Structure 1
């Protein structure tokens, strides 16, 4: 049986959410992001005409489009709307994967005998628009890669079906950058040998690709040839991740406890990025020597950046530790998670910080998660 895989993507999700609540933002170049040294989290199609793109420094975006309006964004509302869309889709399909805060994969294999998969998907897209007010695009094909590329080519509010016999003619003329796993470095590497279109890439020998880019070479070749066996993973929302430490001897060493909290925040944030989660709530817990337990939490913009999470955790510790008593246990928890592809907070962090995190994660992945860390999380006196 041929698979029927749909990719659905909310069009300029953050922009659309803001425009639902602020109609005066309709039709103008709009940038969602934060601060002069921040980066673009999302931008409207009006801004994209001037060359503005996600992850671009705000300053550069405003040089390209001086008339753009910059809005920080209501992150709690983004989460609320994402959950609402999830409920609408999940209620109507047998199998759904939430790939990010605004992306979904649906497996409709076998549903064509009931209603027709393409017509079914159009009904789902219409339900999303009617019940949430948010525009959404989709593409239907026989695997996740082709469907995702198809959605990108169909926006805004696109409806696209790519049948099996149409896959290679559809893919061939496109840039290799359209393949989801191809980043800037891989694109530059391929460009240097004249490989710029998917058609050229699809005809390269697999062994040559493996020699050039390693183990992912075969996977890249398969995607260029429209082959992707990856299943749609059933959606389940992870609620939280946490870490606790019970001291062998009750402690009143505040500096040591703060170092421990910083270390916890860094390791948990690394776990968030590896598993592609973002958190919006930080919770600190302490247990005194008499077993009294106190917690305090704080809502933040969605992030997986440990410098932000560590700062908030330490601020919460200063607020919750009000008795001058020894501490038996300290714990840190990140909750209200959303599953996303961002590896850090695009709303507030700078381009330099983004590069730092990418480098740190690369080194941790290669040499182990304890290979390096922030000085604040280590006790050099021991």
Structure 2
């Protein structure tokens, strides 16, 4: 068995993915301040080009604010289908070559290359894969190569845009040391501000603080942050094909042909699995509906969809599938809904067509469900009539 200290982990990240995808469709957009997101008065920025970032624009910013900062910016509404298709294309190229990979979001991948140095050389192999992806897709992509997932991700961020970086085994701490603390994953603006108030500006200073003291300051996250500051991360690369689906089904006490009741059940179940999806910070790329008739004949139908975590989009697809599936017009014993092809990402991709209010509404609803249970708040369609 290979020890964790000997690992070789590559992190791939498609640079400004949504922006790069739009530039594939229209080459004239390259080098321009480009915003991808909602076009309505309440729309938000899902992604922005490096040229737009120079004006202080960032993702999740209200589109109105972004256009005030950069009036000459070009806006595109986003193309779920095209982005999902490109993501799947990159996934396919990685799957063909990598011995073990994890798709952590629509545009990020971790590859476990442990042991490959004996035969190919991990850096050479990874560089060749990067060139292949860029040649086959036309998309810029960066990677970091290190002994663990956390350091490789930081290295990728340092290599952007459209670059690559390798951190030699044993050099993790010295690589991280001069960086500001907010370069570390898990250290957001609020945590970084708290650390700076205590005089902790760099990762080096953070790494020298006794773990017990950090735990006293930050709670249980203190130990995790200390490990990151010291370049320690034993998180495994989780094989993509082992990603679990999320589903639920209901066997009725009495077989039914009541379509209104069946549709209410589908709404209820979709909201349940949608909430679980967002709780896991995931997006779904495939929806399956299951139907069992009173004679125990069971049928299923699935549809590949653009990655989403939004109930209203999932509900539309579930209803569409059910209406195609239910063609025998006989008593129904069971219905079920399952989400699969899961990747990380949550609200990011919803920003193309969701307003600030819609995103805030989902966050508020999920907060209530987290406190009191998913069934505590549901759409009116689930109420009995």
Q: TM-score range by the shorter chain?
A: 0.7 to 0.9
1:63 matched to 2:68 = yes
Q: Which moved more, 1:24-33 or 1:190-199?
A: 190-199
Aligned-partner Cα distance in 1 for 2:96–2:326: 44
1:174 matched to 2:179 = yes
Aligned-partner Cα distance in 2 for 1:316–1:117: 44
The match for 1:38 among 18, 38, 43 is 43
Question: How far apart are 1:31 and its partner, in Å?
Answer: 1.5
Q: Is the 8 A contact 1:259 1:376 kept in 2?
A: no
2:337 alignment partner in structure 1: 332
Map 1:229-244 → 2, pairs under 5 A: 229-236=234-241, 241-244=246-249
1:145 matched to 2:134 = no
Aligned-partner Cα distance in 2 for 1:359–1:186: 23
Aligned-partner Cα distance in 1 for 2:209–2:381: 47
Can you list the C-alpha shifts for 1:307-363, whole angstroms capped at 9, x where unaligned?
Answer: 44345545776898899986544433445x341233462322233443444455456
TM-score (norm 2): 0.84
Q: Is the 8 A contact 1:256 1:379 kept in 2?
A: no
2:284 alignment partner in structure 1: 279
2:108 alignment partner in structure 1: 103
Query: CA, structure 1 residues 298+168, in 2 after alignment: closer, same or farther (shift >3 Å)?
Result: closer
Q: How many residues matched?
A: 379
Map 1:286-305 → 2, pairs under 5 A: 301-305=306-310
1:11 matched to 2:11 = no
The match for 2:33 among 13, 29, 35 is 29
Can you list the C-alpha shifts for 1:72-115, whole angstroms capped at 9, x where unaligned?
Answer: 22222222221221222222222212111111112222222323
1:160 matched to 2:165 = yes
Query: CA, structure 1 residues 285+141, in 2 after alignment: closer, same or farther (shift >3 Å)?
Result: closer
1:218 matched to 2:223 = yes
Q: Is the 8 A contact 1:266 1:373 kept in 2?
A: no
Query: CA, structure 1 residues 295+183, in 2 after alignment: closer, same or farther (shift >3 Å)?
Result: same
The match for 1:127 among 118, 121, 132 is 132
Aligned-partner Cα distance in 1 for 2:10–2:285: 29
Q: Is the 8 A contact 1:279 1:334 kept in 2?
A: yes
Aligned-partner Cα distance in 1 for 2:329–2:146: 63
Q: Is the 8 A contact 1:43 1:54 kept in 2?
A: yes
1:206 matched to 2:222 = no
Paired residue secondary structure (1:28): coil
2:85 alignment partner in structure 1: 80
Q: Which moved more, 1:288-297 or 1:33-42?
A: 288-297
Query: CA, structure 1 residues 315+219, in 2 after alignment: closer, same or farther (shift >3 Å)?
Result: same
1:116 alignment partner in structure 2: 121
Question: How far apart are 1:211 and its partner, in Å?
Answer: 2.7
Q: Is the 8 A contact 1:29 1:68 kept in 2?
A: yes
The match for 1:346 among 345, 351, 364 is 351
Query: CA, structure 1 residues 73+97, in 2 after alignment: closer, same or farther (shift >3 Å)?
Result: same
